[in-house]
Structure 1
Amino acid sequence: MTATILVVDDEPDLEELVLQKFRRQIGEGIVTFMFARDGVEALQSIERHPNVDLVVCDINMPRMDGLSLLAKLQQAEDKKSTIIVSAYGDMSNIRVAMNRGAFDFLTKPIDFADLEATIEKTIRHVEMLRETRRRQNEAERAHASLSRYFSPQLAKRLAAGSCEAGGMEVRWREVATIFTDITGFTSLVETAAPDVLGELLNEYVTGMTDVVFAHEGTVAKIIGDAIEVLFNAPGDQPDYSTRAVACAHALDAWAEEFRERWKARNVNFGATRIGVHAGSALVGNFGGSRFFDYTAHGDTINTAARLETANKFLGTRICASAAVANAAANFQGRPVGDLILRGRSGPLRAYEPLKPEAFATAATARYSEAFAKLEAGDQGAMPAFAALVGMHSDDPLAGFHLKRLLNGGKGVRMELG
């Protein structure tokens, strides 16, 4: 598929330079470029060609500058992923652009190798968003059949016809949320027979939702293989963080047993990755008067999804934030580090929750000692993790930290991916 890129810049020579630098990609049909001299012309181009995939935009331009164009693009229903370009010394404007929704930025003079890499990364992001929208559309079309996935508590409220009076109205709530996804699910879809895939996914979703309901959670959304779970909504659950951690452990145990069962049938089902976070979210029925769509939106939900993704890099299956770990009763787990997640203003301390039997092992104690050295900047952190990996080669989190240190990493603050 050819990606359409709109470059918005008033420099007269830029168009010729871009076409020259990207002539191979253009010739191979990887990308196609459109050009506009300012924000006004850019909006007119997008209106004529709504299939634009991403926008590369300078800040300082006549008629409509880049920040104003970015605001217009973010207000549109079909938000365009935008790369902002500005002078190196103009970091204040770049910071404003990122806060307003820019996907990434580049500094002038443009390094075309950096531009190519940034465009490739942004196109992958656009493709991911399209896949998410496709899944959302499929889920919406099948919404009538998804009522069996709502928690019994929520179903009871609906049957009583008390959506508004019973807490279904949209409002801010403190919640704990779990986000799950399956490793390699796209490859499985492409290789498994339809009847096998149907049986597999139906059994998986049913089993996972049964676990959620056993902990009195609410399944807020199912999109393909991804499941979003809420606690403390719609009803009050003072121990919602404790419930979320217990549910995450139970989901992990069930999913691993499920994998082994299907492995015996020669079906390679991926591991389930789980992210857990707590905070404020906008929760309620977003379906209007014609549809029922009880779900949650906000940074808390996005952060849980990003913690789920973090497992891919860490080698873990469950990744929980400090917000959950600090609030859950008798939480036991290993510190992962301070993760820098996209969209957040600062680092977020993350943990790998452990069952009591795993937490009580000598290996966990050794990990804690090695992590303390890492956090303190102690030179002994590398040999401590090396010794741990030597004794426990099946510990991916210890291996992750050792690899970071061997590659020059320091401290516990890290950006994944």
Structure 2
Amino acid sequence: MTNRPALILLVDDEPDFEVLVKQHLRHQIRNGEFDFLYAENGVRALEVLQKHPDVDIVLSDINMPRMDGLTLLAHLQDIHRNLETVIVSAYGDMDNIRKAMNSGAFDFLTKPIDFTDLERTIGKTLGHLHLMRSLRAEKAIAERAKTTLSRYFSPAVVEALAEDPDYLSQSSERRVATFMFTDITGFTGLVETSSPEQIAALLNDYLAGVIDVIFKHGGTVTKIMGDSVHVIFGAPFETPDHARDAVECALAMDAFAETFRQWQAEKGIALGATRIGLNTGPATIGSFGTKDFFDYSAYGDVVNTAARVEQANKVLGTRICIGQGVVDHAGDIPRRPVGTLRLRGKTTGLNAYEPLTSEHANNPEVLAYQKAFEKLRAADPTARQAFAAIVGDGGNDPLALFHLGRLLNGQSGVEIQFGGKQFG
């Protein structure tokens, strides 16, 4: 508790009770250990408690006019006061004592009062009260920490971290994980033409949906930068299916983002598509910063590459793009090849893919794209006609249109360069 005296409310319809207690405990009062208030019945006790919410112990008789001790005890339980109650009853009145203990009284004393027993009971009650207050304070701190963690981690991870709160403060480690970057096309322009209130409402609704999808798939949000979200799958706790989880998350997020985009269009807001990039590989993951402030994040080439894969969507016309590492770790996921991205600073290209839902994978347009891409890979001169047929049939395939544009500009093969420069 604090250095103040323990504040004890005496409730008894006999005024002599207050005098006797104070007389026998005068040394403790003089030493600043105890301080006392008095009420002659339960009604008056509730009034005193309203004025003195810092009361530690209520020491109450049972038999009193207007409101007896058992009724007072029931009121105290209803309002969950941060105090303990000790009931005083006539010797042998075990029925009322039992009722009081079952109603939440911490202890009881019998009349006539043994003042040595009273002092011992007060000490025991204060010790218990101190323990319970400490436990409640620790629980409140834990709940606040849990609330903070829930902003970044899925519920399952939050529960695990609650059991091992020091886990995130441990040193960083090298681990294979899957990394996701998202961004909204043209969002900066929308910000410049909308009011702050409109942007705040739109972005908060959007992020609420996106993060809900991420948490449902076990992702960890490491950063939110405006409309962009950075996510790790497979950390802080290892999960064997992190790559597949990330792909399924990307597809679910795409479905939500397109629906959300349609909702905004119905309100006259031209929200761009959400672009998503994934890459899998080893990175250094952990808490970086000081003992007072840290950032749970990941560093490594695989992380940078994931960000650049997300950016590739802007040129490719796709909404989701994943690197070869994702496919290697996720297994046989429905997908179609995008090509080999040439990234600045890399000596080798990165094979990239567009993940698909099972239903979309069997779409005739997708099957036609697969055949056209194989012709492109084999340097078959009929590849141009194959892509042109997909586009000319009234289809809406941005990736087929992208490759047709490359071929019409004299490019060939599946290695993708933009403007004569390596991508990225």
The Cα of 1:326 is off from its aligned counterpart by 2.8
- Give the equivalent residue in structure 1 for 2:165: 162
Deviations 1:296-334 (A, max 9, x none): 111111111111110000100000111112321431111
* Structure 2 residue corresponding to 1:371, chosen from 353, 373, 389: 373
- Give the equivalent residue in structure 2 for 1:387: 389
* 1:403 aligned onto 2:412: no
Q: Determine if contact 1:157/1:163 at 8 Å carries over to the other structure.
A: no
- Give the equivalent residue in structure 2 for 1:218: 220
* Structure 1 residue corresponding to 2:194, chosen from 192, 195, 199: 192
Q: Determine if contact 2:365/2:395 at 8 Å carries over to the other structure.
A: no
- Give the equivalent residue in structure 2 for 1:69: none
Q: Determine if contact 2:391/2:401 at 8 Å carries over to the other structure.
A: yes
Write the letter of the residue equivalent to 1:287.
G
Distance 2:224 2:248 in 1: 20
**CA separation of 1:168/1:220 partners in 2, compared to 1, >3 Å: closer, same or farther?**
farther
The Cα of 1:393 is off from its aligned counterpart by 3.7
Distance 2:187 2:170 in 1: 33
**CA separation of 1:187/1:148 partners in 2, compared to 1, >3 Å: closer, same or farther?**
farther
**CA separation of 1:148/1:194 partners in 2, compared to 1, >3 Å: closer, same or farther?**
farther
Does 267-276 or 324-333 show the bigger shift?
Answer: 324-333
Map 1:245-284 onto structure 2 (within 5 A): 245-284=247-286
The Cα of 1:385 is off from its aligned counterpart by 0.8
Distance 2:263 2:149 in 1: 27
Write the letter of the residue equivalent to 2:398.
P
Distance 1:277 1:167 in 2: 26
Deviations 1:102-159 (A, max 9, x none): xxxxxxxxxxxxxxxxxxxxxxxxxxxxxxxxxxxxxxxxxxx975531134444554
Map 1:231-310 onto structure 2 (within 5 A): 231-310=233-312
Deviations 1:33-59 (A, max 9, x none): xxxxxxxxxxxxxxxxxxxxxxxxxxx
Distance 1:168 1:153 in 2: 19
- Give the equivalent residue in structure 1 for 2:230: 228
The Cα of 1:224 is off from its aligned counterpart by 1.1
The Cα of 1:269 is off from its aligned counterpart by 1.1
Distance 1:266 1:322 in 2: 39
- Give the equivalent residue in structure 1 for 2:342: 340
Distance 1:293 1:275 in 2: 22
The Cα of 1:287 is off from its aligned counterpart by 2.4
The Cα of 1:233 is off from its aligned counterpart by 0.4
- Give the equivalent residue in structure 2 for 1:359: 361
Write the letter of the residue equivalent to 1:274.
I
Deviations 1:210-245 (A, max 9, x none): 100000111111111111111110111101111011
Write the letter of the residue equivalent to 1:263.
A
- Give the equivalent residue in structure 2 for 1:177: 179
Deviations 1:177-197 (A, max 9, x none): 111001011111111111111
Distance 2:280 2:289 in 1: 24
Distance 2:395 2:254 in 1: 21
Give me the identity figure in percent: 47
Distance 1:296 1:267 in 2: 35
Map 1:22-101 onto structure 2 (within 5 A): none
Deviations 1:147-180 (A, max 9, x none): 553113444455456334x685311110011110
Distance 1:416 1:214 in 2: 36
- Give the equivalent residue in structure 2 for 1:95: none
* 1:204 aligned onto 2:206: yes
Distance 1:147 1:191 in 2: 34
Q: Determine if contact 1:168/1:294 at 8 Å carries over to the other structure.
A: no
SS across alignment from 1:293? strand
Deviations 1:58-103 (A, max 9, x none): xxxxxxxxxxxxxxxxxxxxxxxxxxxxxxxxxxxxxxxxxxxxxx
Write the letter of the residue equivalent to 1:174.
V
Q: Determine if contact 1:332/1:359 at 8 Å carries over to the other structure.
A: yes
Distance 1:364 1:257 in 2: 22
Distance 1:342 1:208 in 2: 30
Write the letter of the residue equivalent to 1:278.
T
Q: Give the structure-2-normalised TM-score.
A: 0.62
The Cα of 1:293 is off from its aligned counterpart by 1.1
Deviations 1:234-273 (A, max 9, x none): 1111011110110000110111111111111111111100
Q: Determine if contact 1:322/1:351 at 8 Å carries over to the other structure.
A: yes
SS across alignment from 1:276? strand
SS across alignment from 1:267? coil
SS across alignment from 2:294? coil
Q: Determine if contact 1:393/1:399 at 8 Å carries over to the other structure.
A: no
Distance 1:227 1:373 in 2: 37
Q: Give the structure-1-normalised TM-score.
A: 0.63
SS across alignment from 1:180? strand
Distance 1:243 1:307 in 2: 18
Total equivalences in the alignment: 273
* 1:323 aligned onto 2:289: no
Unaligned runs of 5+ in 2: 1-146, 420-424
Q: Determine if contact 1:339/1:416 at 8 Å carries over to the other structure.
A: no
User: RMSD between aligned alpha carbons?
Assistant: 1.9
Q: Mark the structure with the bigger radius of gyration.
A: 2
Unaligned runs of 5+ in 1: 1-144
